[in-house]
Amino acid sequence: MKHLILAVFILLLPLACIAQRAPLPTDSTAMRQVSIGEVEVLPAAAKVKGMLLLNKDVQYELEGAVDNMYNFKYERAEKQFKSLRRRYPEHPLPYFLMGLSQWWKIVPTNIQTLQYDELFFAYMDTTIQKAEAMYEHENNKIEAAFFLAAANGFTARLHSERSNWRKATVASKRSLDYLEEAKAGNGLSPEFLFGEALFNYYAVWIPENYPMLRPVLLFFPDGDKRLGLKQLAYVSKSGFYTGTESKLFLMKILANEEKDMQAALDVSEDLALKYPDNGYFERFYARLLFVNGHFTKAERVSLDILSKLEQNMPGYESVSGRYASYILAYINQHKYRDFEKAKAYYKKAIAFAEQTNEQDSGYFVNSYLNLARIAKLQKDVASAKSYYAVVLKYSDKKSANYKEAKKYLKGNKRG
């Protein structure tokens, strides 16, 4: 039920969560034929004047800070964001960036850590307060609406992850309301187009994949999934504050919804190379290299992840360790036929999964499954039975894993 509610929230959160479910037909051309006319982002210089969000001098000043944030150099980034706050104490931008920095401390843990929640909500609340004050002035409404949509969207996302459904619903509704107003800025800058791009895609994708939600979504504006992808691609290349977020969503949509793994890998590689110390981007890159069969690169990236985790680098968590360890185990098992190394890495993957209480993850179950297969190959019946028993416990009864484990245990009752 939680995933269904989150899916609805996606329509309401311009900068928030992403549903990951059934595949749709691939249309890679959507990424290659972006025209200015289709995405409607022709500049209107007169309206841009006075907007801090679109101030080129500020963007030039903050370019290193934004890059530092996405590269998990939080302290350096926040020092510059605070400098901006000292000069513009009444503008929502510095508070929003500080909140975004807290968000990116939460993301690598699969949103599990609670350590940064209080600061995150405080900065987003302040962003909303400053933007509401700005909204009272007619000339500032569009810029204010952008921050109100964004801050409420992020707030709703974290509340939904924490199962605070009432607060998430209220923030989501506010986000959508201000998103509609912020659309007036689409002709000013790609920054304003980001929310509409997500809405266009998911307004179509959700009813296609969650038919039971169609009656609820009748009250929403129509979307255009193909246009949404084109808009995301455009913003990912042109947006300053929203460019990286757009690229992240584009990567995840291509991989998880569109099942266009090569296109997703291309986007992933851009992110991983630009931000080499972002553990979230690096593990996503490793996974996409792996599923696309680029084992040599996947091995190199996975070893780098484990090395950074051992150095306690920011953003390198047990989740990343689980990805990297499983990939290395699989490569050692199937490419090098080094079963001892493979077993050691599978056991690492299991330990990392247990650290985050994610025994229901595919990596956890498949690690035990492959340990069982290696034990069976090595004629270690006792170990194979032990591993298959775990597979049986954590697998769906209709799955091939469950059937394989049950068959082996049934045939080796006395072994």
- For residue 320, give the nearest of 368, 285, 273, 369 by alpha carbon: 285
Taking a C-beta distance cutoff of 8 angstroms, is the pair 34, 41 a contact?
A: no
Q: What counts of helices (H) and strands (E) characterise the chain?
A: 21, 0
For 39, the 3-state DSSP assignment is helix
Alpha helix stretches (DSSP H) within 183-278 = 193-209, 214-217, 225-238, 243-252, 261-274
Residue 195, pLDDT score: 85
- pLDDT at 119 (0 to 100): 98
* Per-residue tens of pLDDT for the chain, all 415 residues: 344 344 444 444 433 343 333 332 223 322 333 333 344 443 344 455 679 999 999 999 999 999 999 999 999 999 999 999 999 999 999 999 999 999 999 999 999 999 999 999 999 999 999 999 999 988 899 999 999 999 999 999 899 889 898 898 889 889 888 988 888 887 788 898 998 888 888 878 777 776 766 666 665 677 889 999 999 999 999 999 999 999 999 999 999 999 999 999 999 999 999 999 999 999 999 999 999 999 999 999 999 999 999 999 999 999 999 999 999 999 999 999 999 999 999 999 999 999 999 988 899 999 999 999 999 999 999 999 999 999 999 999 999 999 999 999 999 987 5
Give the amino acid at 37.
G
Distances (CA, A) of 257 to 35, 160, 286, 297: 23, 21, 19, 24
Query: How does 325-334 read in b/e, with b if 16+ C-beta sit within 10 Å?
Result: bbbbbbbbbe
Domain 294-411, CATH number (from 1.25.40.10, 3.40.190.10, 1.10.10.10, 1.10.530.10):
1.25.40.10
Closest CA to 289 of 322, 264, 256, 306: 264
The pLDDT score that the predictor gives to residue 217 is 62
pLDDT of residue 407: 96
Cβ distance 373 to 408 under 8 Å? Answer: no
Pull the structure tokens for residue 177.
Answer: 């309301």
- Closest by CA to 286, choosing from 309, 308, 304, is 304
**16: closest CA among 29, 7, 27, 4?**
7
Do residues 282 and 276 lie in contact, with contact meaning Cβ atoms separated by under 8 Å? yes
pLDDT in the model for residue 216: 61
CB of 162 within 8 A of CB of 150?
no
DSSP state of 124: H
Dist CA 159 CA 172 (whole Å): 10
CA distance 81 to 77: 6
Tokens of residue 12, six digits: 């309401």
The residue extents of the domains of the chain are 2-260, 294-411
The predicted pLDDT at position 213 comes to 63
